[in-house]
Amino acid sequence: MTPRSFLLTPELADYVRASSEPADPVVADLLAETAALAARGEASPTYQIAPEQGTFMQLLTRAVGARRAIEIGTFTGYSALCIARGLPADGSLLCLDRDAGWTGIARRYWDRAGVGDRIEVRLGEALPTLRELPAGQTFDLAFVDADKSGYADYVAELHPRMTDNGVVLLDNTLREGRVLDPQDRDDVALAELNAALAADARWETVLLPLADGLTLLRKR
Ligand SMILES: C[S@@+](CC[C@H](N)C(=O)[O-])C[C@H]1O[C@@H](n2cnc3c(N)ncnc32)[C@H](O)[C@@H]1O
């Protein structure tokens, strides 16, 4: 039930994970509790990012020296846990999500991992919450993993809030390959956004074929 890339066989996914930093007990328990939610039909089995993506995001957060981060779409908190662990002890992560139940699960694991004091959750619709942040509130790193048709607005709102060289990560930008032949409005939204970003001189852009596609945008 653990999410894996549509590009990997189950054997290759196991190999990728065995060749990367191993999950610690907090992550293992969070993945298991989230998989149980999905097994009961209470959440989509594809919501949570893949373990190798979490490991990558933790490393990237630390490597770019991010201190202030924002996440749009938190669910049960795995990606936020990875980002928070990559921040320094006095760093901060602001999480936007509309679901109190899922972010309540997240909070238990963040506290257990000792990073709960770095993370603030704002419940509600993400776009108005983002728009209402104080004008001077900026971020070194952003991760977008909420409603796919909202991504273009999130990127537009994030641009003025990113520090120079700040990095925005966009999840699911391959839509399991359907960006080549969009089947629904979320596929169309991502296909259009991918094309627009590749031509947008304000960002340095790369779409990595990691998990379900992870786009990195560096603010020029
Ligand atoms: C794919 S899940 C996020 C998975 C998470 N990043 C992880 O790795 O576990 C998407 C989340 O976005 C939230 N969400 C979707 N649309 C939203 C919106 N318009 N405003 C706020 N939250 C939203 C959902 O409640 C859900 O928790």
pLDDT tens string 108-125: 999 999 999 999 999 999
Indicate if the pLDDT at residue 23 is higher than 90. yes
pLDDT in tens, 120-174: 999 999 999 999 999 999 999 999 999 999 999 999 999 999 999 999 999 999 9
Q: How far is the CA of 97 from the centre of ligand 1 (A)?
A: 6
What integer is the mean pLDDT of 21-34?
96
Indicate if ligand 1 lies below 6 Å from the C-beta of 147.
yes
Indicate if ligand 1 lies below 6 Å from the C-beta of 200.
no
Cβ-based neighbour number of residue 42 at 10 Å = 11
Share of the chain above pLDDT 70, in %: 100
Indicate if ligand 1 lies below 6 Å from the C-beta of 172.
no
Pocket test for ligand 1, best of 2, 123, 147, 151 (most atoms within 8 A of CB): 147
Residue nearest to atom 7 of ligand 1 (CA): 48
User: What are the b/e assignments for 178-213, b being 16+ CB within 10 Å?
Assistant: bbeeeeeebbbbbbebbeebeeeeebebebeebbbb
Residue 58 and residue 69 in contact, taking contact as beta carbons nearer than 8 Å:
no
**Residue spans per domain, the chain:** 10-219
Indicate if ligand 1 lies below 6 Å from the C-beta of 150.
yes
Report which ligand 1 atom has the smallest distance to the Cα of 124. 21
What integer is the mean pLDDT of 90-117?
98
DSSP string, 69-128: EEEE--TTSHHHHHHHHHS-TT-EEEEEES-HHHHHHHHHHHHHTT-GGGEEEEES-HHH
Q: How far is the CA of 47 from the centre of ligand 1 (A)?
A: 8
CATH number 3.40.50.150 given to 10-219? yes
What integer is the mean pLDDT of 78-91?
98
Residue nearest to atom 9 of ligand 1 (CA): 48
205, two tokens:
């852009």
* 206 bridge partner residues: 216
What integer is the mean pLDDT of 36-40?
95
Q: Distance between CA atoms of 163 and 172, rounded to whole angstroms?
A: 24
Q: How far is the CA of 205 from the centre of ligand 1 (A)?
A: 23
Nearest to 123 by CA among 148, 157, 95: 95
pTM of the predicted protein model: 0.98
| Average pLDDT along the chain | 97
Q: What pLDDT was estimated at residue 4?
A: 81
Indicate if ligand 1 lies below 6 Å from the C-beta of 78.
yes
Taking the CA atoms of the chain, what radius of gyration do you get in angstroms? Answer: 16
Q: What pLDDT was estimated at residue 1?
A: 54
Indicate if ligand 1 lies below 6 Å from the C-beta of 125.
yes
Q: Distance between CA atoms of 190 and 186, rounded to whole angstroms?
A: 6
Handedness of CA 52, 205, 212, 31 (dihedral sign): positive
